[in-house]
Amino acid sequence: MTLHVYVGPTLTGDDVLLAAPHAVVHRPVRHGDLLALRTGPDDTVVIIDGVSHQGAAVRHEEIIDVLARGTRVLGAAGAGALRAAELGLYGMEGVGLVFGMYSRGTLDSDDEVAVGHPSPGGRREPGLPLVNLRWTISNAIAAEALRAAEGEAVLAAARALHYTERTWDALCRTAPQPRPAPQQLPAPTEAARKLREFARRRPELSDLMRRDAHCALARSLGDRPALATATPAWMVPRTIHLERPRRAFRPAVAGRHDAVSELDVLRFQQLYAPDFPARYRRFALTRIAGPHLAAEDRGLAHAVMTAAGERGITHEALPAEAWSYWLTPEERREDSPERRLLTLLVRSFRSAPGAAPFDDAPDELRGGEEAWRASADAVAAAAGLTRRMESEGSGRSPRRAPSAPLHGHLGDIWQADGADALDAAARDRGFLSAAEAEEAARPFFPLHGTGALPRPPTSA
C-alpha cells in the first residue's frame, strides 16, 4: 500500500512525514499528475492543495479515473475539499470543516481557499486564505477579542484584495475601506491588527485548512469506510477529454523514464519505426471495416470495401480532386483501383471529423516490447539533450529550428523524394501532412544532429 499526498503550502513535506512517515509527498496537484500516477485498490491518494492560476487545475475526470482503479481518494482543506464536495457521489471522501462548508453550499467559490505561494527563500509572507480568515474572525468574536462589526470590516477589506496579495501584512498595512461600502463599517486597519495578534496567540483557532489537512492524514491511515455512492466511478463513461491526457501523462515504462509518456513514445515510433506504416494501415483498415470484418470471412480488404461502399465511398463516386490530394501521381497511374481506394481510406482515416486517428496508445500500434523500450530510451535522451541546449543560454532550441532541415531529415528517414512523396509518407504514418510530421519531429531532431538518433527495431 502506498499513500500519496499532494500538498503545499497548507502543510510542508516535513509536516506530512511527521504524521505519515511512509507517505510519498507530491507538489500541489495539477492537470496530469494523477494520470501519471500508477495506483491500485491498495493505494490511497490525499489531495490537500492544488494549483489554479499557476497552471492547469486537476480535472474532475482525472480524479474519477483514479477512483475507477479502486484507489481510495480523500480531499481536504484546499483544492481537495472543493473537489471532494463535487465528487462525493463517485466515492471521493471529504474530510474537515472546509469540505463540510462546500458540500452544504455555505462556500461556493474557489477564491475561499486560493492562496498566494511564498517566494523561494521565504522572503514573501505566506498567503492568507479567506476561509482561514473567516474562521479566525468567528473564533475571535466568540472569545470577545473582536467585535462583530470589526470582523465584518476586515473580511470586506480582504475580499477586496486579489488572493495573491491577501496576507496579514497587507491587511494590517493598507486594509482599504471597500468602495462603495455597503454600509458604514469600522476602519479595518486597527481591527486587522487586533485579529492578527489573536491569531498569533491562538494558532489552533486561526488556521482551519491546516487543521483539516491533519484530519485528512489521520483519516487516511485508518480503515476505509463503506461508502454508499450513487454512481460508481468505473461506470462513468470515458471520453476523449480523459483518454487523450491519460496517454499524454501516463509513463511509457513503469519505473523507467517517468517523465516519458506513452504518447511521447508512440509519436517517436510513428516517425521513425520502419514498420509503423504497416501497423497503421492495418489499424485504420480494421476500424473502417468494423463489424463487416467479423461478419464476412473474405478478408480485411473485402470487408473494408463493403463498409466503404455502404457509405457511398467507391472508386467511381470519388472526384478527381480527392485522388490527386491523397495519392501521388505514380500511385494514381500504377496501382489497381482497389489498392488506390484502400490507400486513400488509410490516409484520410480519422476516428471523428477533425480528430486525430488515435488519442491513446492502442496495442496494435505499440509494436513489440523491445521496440517500445528502445523508443522510450530515445525520447528520454532527446528531452535531456534539449534541456542541456536550452540551459546553455545560446538560444539554441529545437522549437526554433527552421523547417528546411526537418523537411530534409524526414525525407532521408522515409526515403521520400519530393513534396508529394513526403506528404504521402506522412499520411501513411497517421499524420495529416508532412508539415504536421515535421512539428512532431522537432523534439527528436537534436539527436539527429549528434548522429545518435536510433531507429526502433522492427517489431516481430
Residue 324 phi, psi (nearest 5): -70, -25
Q: What is the dihedral of CA 268, 349, 245, 243, to 10 degrees?
A: -130
pLDDT means over runs of 10, the chain (460 residues)? 93 94 93 87 94 80 90 94 91 93 86 72 70 92 90 88 85 60 60 90 91 94 78 63 59 60 86 92 91 76 91 91 93 90 92 59 81 86 79 63 82 91 94 90 76 56
For residue 377, the model assigns a pLDDT of: 86
Surface-to-core class of residue 230, CB atoms within 10 Å of its CB (0-12 exposed, 13-18 middle, 19+ buried): exposed
For residue 444, the model assigns a pLDDT of: 85
For residue 118, the model assigns a pLDDT of: 56
What stretches of 24-138 adopt beta strand conformation (E)?
24-26, 44-47, 72-76, 93-95
For residue 179, the model assigns a pLDDT of: 47
For residue 343, the model assigns a pLDDT of: 95
Q: Which residues contact 362 (CB under 8 A, 6 or more apart)?
A: 283
pTM score of the predicted model: 0.60
State yes or no: cis peptide before 456, omega within 30 of 0. Answer: no
For residue 367, the model assigns a pLDDT of: 80
For residue 189, the model assigns a pLDDT of: 80
- Contact, 57 vs 34, CB < 8 A? no
